């Protein structure tokens, strides 16, 4: 079982998210509520379309995910996942 501690909140395009391990190269990201999973998937799709279109024009384009950190959680959220 893998345990993740989410310490910050923010936005990924249209979806509100929780972020953990924000100082790493690959922070942990989940939607703030399970019902927002579809909104998270739509945001990923829109971003993939954008990256695909830009890479047609500029093949050496290196995208950065459009995540905005809006604040720190008052109490860290700890979740455990099966691998």
6, 73 in Cβ contact below 8 A? Answer: yes
Q: Which of 28, 25, 31 is nearest to 13 (CA)?
A: 31
5, 72 in Cβ contact below 8 A? Answer: no
11, 40 in Cβ contact below 8 A? Answer: no
66, 42 in Cβ contact below 8 A? Answer: no
pLDDT in tens, 16-62: 999 999 999 889 999 999 999 999 999 999 999 999 999 999 999 99
Q: Taking 90 as the threshold, does the pLDDT of residue 82 lie above it?
A: no
Whole-angstrom distance, CA of residue 81 vs CA of residue 47: 26
């Amino acid at each position: 079982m893998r345990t993740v501690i989410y310490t910050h909140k923010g936005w990924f395009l249209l979806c509100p998210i929780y972020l953990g391990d924000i100082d790493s190269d690959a922070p942990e990201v989940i939607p703030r509520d399970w019902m927002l999973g579809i909104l998270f998937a739509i945001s990923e799709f829109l971003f993939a379309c954008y990256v695909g279109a830009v890479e047609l024009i500029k093949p050496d384009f290196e995208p950065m995910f459009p995540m905005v950190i809006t604040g720190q959680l008052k109490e860290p959220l700890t979740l455990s996942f099966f691998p």
